[in-house]
Amino acid sequence: MLLDTFPATDQFREHARHATVIPVGAKILADTETPVSVLTRFADASPNVFLLESAEGGEQWGRYSFLGVSARATVTVYRNDVVYRHGIRETRTPHNGAPLDVLRALMKPYTLAELPGLPRFCGGLVGYFAYEMIHFFETRVPNNLPPERPLAEFIIPDALLIFDNIAHTLTVLALAFTEDGEPDALYHAATARVNDLLATLARPADTALRPARHPAAAPAPVHAPGHFTDMVQAVKHHIHEGNIIQCVISQSFVGPAPDDLVSLYRAQRYVNPSPYLFFLKSQGCTLIGSSPETMIRLDGRTACLRPIAGTRPRGATEQEDRKNADSLLQDEKERAEHLMLVDLGRNELGRVALPGTVQVTDLMVVERYSHVMHLVSNITADIEPRHDAFDLFQSSFPAGTLSGAPKIRAMEIIAELEDTPRGPYGGAVGYFSFDGNMDFCICIRTAVVEHGRLTLRAGAGIVADSDPDYEYRETVNKAAAMSRALELLRPRPNP
């Protein structure tokens, strides 16, 4: 049911005088659709597709889901340059050790027309940064990624489908870029694109959770347990020597990928619902993840960090749940680690914030998820006018919860001990919007699929009294959520 179309022709012409990106759209009633049912219609239609959604949380976190169905352009960061692909045109720009400056320059020409009623994201750069991107912010930390591997991959979408999960509506947007032609021709092309997307939506969706034709085995650790426990002992030695206080060490799990990645996303979404759920398909790889943790967010001029540290399982009963929450709140070790990360977050925001605006608005609040509960804090600040989203990102990347403290020394030790690059793990997934906003989560609980192979990593925060065998089991348990998702895709006999 069509509810609205926008803007009118004369309004489009007026927007074209001041803006360089103009959304043209239609709003329909979508009470029989879900973001996943729509994803099934578009996932195979383009090499660049994404779905960003939230399966838990209230209106503030989970109201909108964003589906990008095709790319106007792609941006890939390598060790020495940034590659911009638009149609058949490819441009390589040396970044001279400052890739964020190139991304900022790419975004600078774009100004988004302000249309009433649209959510905070209506286009921009959508993708991920690998953990090794830190090398360009702190050169003491080596870049262990091979030169052919991307340090970041981004999509600039030209069409978006935006679900309002409260109002049960779907907004179909085609983005008109004024550099492409005259306003009337652009408006005609954009409305035609919207109509094409509406026609695709009118077709039935294949929503069956398809069992894998070739069931994938659970991802297995790349190394024997002794390799990881040796790393833990090495970290503890550094701690006892006074080099660091804490360090997050990780290991890789590898296995064959299932043939249907949308079904894997659906299974992961069911097994491990989280505030940040993403299906990110680019030409380099596909990321399927369910992250609980904001890395950094910018809304207007207000920045937000939400460190998570400290975990307990959910109780089988309400009484057991309260008992586990009380245990978490009273655990001195968990509290000390969490406060260390809060201090780190305050310091990182302070680099770009207006003096006196850094505030801890929530401190060590227990947040409950489907299978676990965490200690969560919320830190906000108003950033200085001379800084933008890229400065804010650089000031806080990577998250302290995936590195350690002191942060730089911990990352140097990670580079020494881990014998394979992290890639997307410990990096960030999210977007820089055309209007200057930003939202990135920490890339954890994420499968990276390349060339038929599924890789994921899991880590553990090591402190002075950590038990190596316990920390090894912790990483295995974290990786088990993906194994449970894969299990759902196995064919089952008829009852």
pLDDT tens figures, 166-178 = 889 999 999 999 9
The DSSP call for residue 132 is G
Distance CA 380, CA 357 (A): 8
| Within-domain flag for 236 | yes
Same-domain check for residues 182 and 227: no
Which of 434, 494, 489 has its CA nearest to residue 73?
434
Active site members: 374, 401, 425, 445, 461
Same-domain check for residues 140 and 253: no
Q: pTM for the complete prediction?
A: 0.93
| Within-domain flag for 284 | no
| Within-domain flag for 231 | yes
The CB density around residue 490, as the number of other CB atoms within 10 Å, is 11
CB contact at 8 A, 367 and 361: no
| Within-domain flag for 267 | no
Q: Which of 202, 234, 265 is the last residue of a domain?
A: 202
| Within-domain flag for 65 | yes
CA quadruple 22, 25, 31, 34: dihedral positive or negative?
negative
Same-domain check for residues 149 and 230: no
Same-domain check for residues 300 and 429: yes
CB contact at 8 A, 172 and 161: yes
Q: Output the six-digit token pair for 287.
A: 């990321």
| Within-domain flag for 452 | yes
Residue 283: exposed, middle, or buried by beta-carbon count in 10 A (0-12, 13-18, 19+)? Answer: middle
CATH number of 422's domain: 3.60.120.10
Same-domain check for residues 320 and 409: yes
Distance CA 401, CA 238 (A): 18
Scanning the structure block, which residue is given the tokens 């650790």?
Answer: 221
Same-domain check for residues 34 and 119: yes
Measure the CA angle with vertex 288, ends 286 and 289; round to 5°. 140
Residue type, 30: A
Q: Output the six-digit token pair for 179.
A: 């550099």
Same-domain check for residues 343 and 455: yes
**Residue 244 sits in which domain range?**
220-257+290-488
Q: Output the six-digit token pair for 399.
A: 């998250």
What pLDDT sits at residue 205?
72
- Per-residue model confidence as pLDDT tens digits over 118-152: 888 999 999 999 999 999 999 999 999 999 999 99
CB contact at 8 A, 405 and 340: yes
| Within-domain flag for 445 | yes
Number of independent structural domains in the chain: 2
Same-domain check for residues 193 and 312: no
Instruction: Give strand ranges (E) for 7-88.
Output: 21-29, 49-53, 64-77, 81-86
| Within-domain flag for 493 | no
Same-domain check for residues 343 and 418: yes
Distance CA 11, CA 19 (A): 12
Radius of gyration of the CA atoms of the chain, in A: 23
Same-domain check for residues 191 and 227: no
Which of 26, 29, 6 has its CA nearest to residue 164?
29
Same-domain check for residues 252 and 172: no
Encode 159-195 in three state secondary structure. EEEEEECCCCEEEEEEEEEHHHCCHHHHHHHHHHHHH
CA quadruple 212, 264, 260, 36: dihedral positive or negative?
positive
Same-domain check for residues 143 and 243: no
Q: H-helix or E-strand containing 233?
A: helix 225-240
Stretches where the chain sits below pLDDT 50 are: 58-61
Distance CA 370, CA 377 (A): 19
Which conformational region is residue 231 in: left (phi greater than 0), alpha (psi within -120 to 50 degrees), or beta?
Answer: alpha
CB contact at 8 A, 131 and 426: yes
